């Protein structure tokens, strides 16, 4: 016999109770409104029959009495009509209206609480889904990541939903204030992923729970396998701990696979805003990759475009900028900009590093 862990029951019993509470409140509100409508129609009919009022006059009297406005322009004058008003309106109607108001306030408070705690069924479209939460400094990383997304002009308008088993009492105020919503739950299985509308998402980000544990890749692989069943049209970005698993994650539907570089959330934002550039940036973080180098060489007066072209043609690398005569670093100058300086910054590959003498010769060949 399969035995489920106690935390499983606690987690799912909590979610089922919240759902039942909301359903019960909706049903109670509906039943009370139907009863109120029945009382209003009954009183209106009684005023037509007992007070000889028109339908509109009877309805007007019913509404002003029920809401305790009491204009006094129309009123029940016969004993029978007055008794009907006392029983239907004073005894039942006004009490029922107050009860409906109370139920509605409770429903709104319950709804707001469920939204805050991630138990609400959000219906979203063209949004960003962030699946999982890093176990170390996860709050801080998510906050910086969302702030970076909001600063990106191509991403700032996208709604953001975090799908995580963490935050049972709601997102931290720093995250919630950025307009992020929470779906509390385990992101494993087709039903769970359907609750965050992955088939309508513009971007899906699968974060690694533990950036130092290679077993986290198994969870990522399972989530990607589930996503394949939805024919997700959006861009899927997955973090990967072991480089050996990158090919597997791509084979299971990840459009981009990144290392979990927690100190640089901009890497994830680049993967969304400009797909492909994250690979270039990520290469800078590894030992065997491209990296910028400084070459202390005298730069005679010349145009930046001519110098950059000679450096590229002669295989010196990709020029990034230079140090001018005022000891200021100038990056990505204009092609026609005249320059003079004392050092060059060049992006080179680890296995093709030009010597300072080679760079000096190319620079001097004006």
The tens-digit pLDDT sequence of the chain (366 residues) is 334 344 433 444 444 444 446 677 778 888 888 988 998 899 999 999 998 889 998 999 888 888 777 777 778 888 998 898 888 888 888 888 888 888 888 888 888 888 888 888 888 999 999 999 888 788 889 999 999 999 998 999 999 999 998 898 899 888 889 989 999 988 877 778 999 999 999 999 999 988 888 889 999 999 999 998 898 888 999 999 998 999 999 999 999 999 888 878 888 898 898 888 777 777 666 655 678 889 999 999 999 999 999 999 999 999 999 999 999 999 889 999 999 999 999 988 877 899 999 999 999 987
234: closest CA among 262, 264, 275, 268? 275
48 and 92 housed in the same domain: yes
DSSP 352: B
- What confidence score (pLDDT) does residue 267 get? 84
User: Pick from 81, 116, 151: which residue ends a domain?
Assistant: 116
207 and 340 housed in the same domain: no
- What confidence score (pLDDT) does residue 22 get? 63
* pTM (2 d.p.): 0.67
DSSP 70: -
Instruction: Determine the structural domain holding residue 274 and report its residue range.
Output: 128-283
Domain containing residue 245: CATH number: 3.40.50.720
Six token digits for residue 228: 């394949």
Task: Give the total number of structural domains in the chain.
Answer: 3
Six token digits for residue 95: 């009490």
134 and 80 housed in the same domain: no
The beta strand positions in the chain, using DSSP E, are 128-131, 160-164, 180-184, 203-206, 235-239, 256-258, 290-295, 299-303, 318-324, 329-331, 338-349
248: closest CA among 267, 279, 224, 274? 224
- What confidence score (pLDDT) does residue 21 get? 60
Q: How many residues does the chain have?
A: 366
User: Pick from 116, 136, 155: which residue ends a domain?
Assistant: 116
User: Pick from 283, 308, 336: which residue ends a domain?
Assistant: 283
DSSP 243: G
245 and 308 housed in the same domain: no
136 and 278 housed in the same domain: yes
265 and 304 housed in the same domain: no
Domain containing residue 47: CATH number: 1.10.287.70
- What confidence score (pLDDT) does residue 92 get? 85
134 and 244 housed in the same domain: yes
DSSP 92: I
In a domain, 1, yes or no: no
In a domain, 122, yes or no: no
306 and 217 housed in the same domain: no
């Amino acid at each position: 016999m399969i035995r489920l862990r106690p935390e499983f029951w606690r987690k799912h019993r909590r979610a089922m109770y919240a759902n039942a509470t909301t359903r019960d409140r909706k049903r109670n509100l509906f039943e009370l409104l139907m009863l109120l409508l029945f009382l209003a129609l009954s009183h209106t009919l009684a005023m037509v029959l007992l007070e000889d009022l028109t339908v509109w006059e009877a309805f007007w009297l019913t509404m002003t009495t029920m809401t305790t406005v009491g204009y006094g322009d129309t009123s029940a004058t016969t004993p029978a009509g007055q008794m009907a008003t006392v029983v239907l309106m004073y005894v039942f109607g006004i009490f029922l209206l107050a009860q409906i108001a109370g139920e509605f306030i409770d429903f709104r408070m319950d709804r707001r609480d469920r939204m805050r705690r991630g138990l609400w069924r959000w219906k979203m479209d063209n949004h960003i889904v962030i699946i999982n939460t890093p176990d170390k400094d996860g709050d801080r990383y998510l906050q910086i990541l969302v702030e970076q997304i909001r600063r990106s002009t191509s991403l700032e308008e996208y709604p953001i939903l975090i799908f995580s088993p963490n935050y049972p009492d709601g997102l931290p105020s720093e995250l919630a204030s950025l307009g992020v919503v929470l779906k509390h739950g385990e992101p494993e299985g087709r039903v769970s992923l359907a609750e965050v509308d992955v088939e309508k998402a513009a971007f899906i980000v699968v974060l690694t729970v533990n950036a130092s544990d290679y077993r986290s890749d198994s969870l990522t692989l399972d989530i990607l396998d589930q996503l394949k069943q939805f024919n997700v049209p959006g861009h899927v970005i997955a973090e990967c701990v072991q480089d050996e698993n990158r090919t597997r994650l791509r084979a299971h539907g990840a459009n981009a696979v990144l290392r979990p570089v927690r100190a640089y959330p901009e890497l994830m934002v680049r993967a969304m805003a400009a797909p492909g550039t994250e690979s270039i940036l990520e290469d800078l973080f590894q030992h065997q990759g491209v990296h910028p180098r400084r070459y202390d060489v005298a730069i005679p007066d010349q145009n930046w475009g001519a110098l950059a072209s000679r450096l590229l043609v002669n295989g010196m690398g990709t020029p990034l900028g230079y140090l001018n005569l005022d000891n200021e670093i100038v990056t990505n100058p204009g092609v026609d900009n005249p320059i003079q300086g004392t050092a060059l910054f060049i992006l080179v590959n680890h296995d093709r590093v030009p010597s300072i003498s080679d760079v000096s010769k190319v620079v001097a060949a004006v």
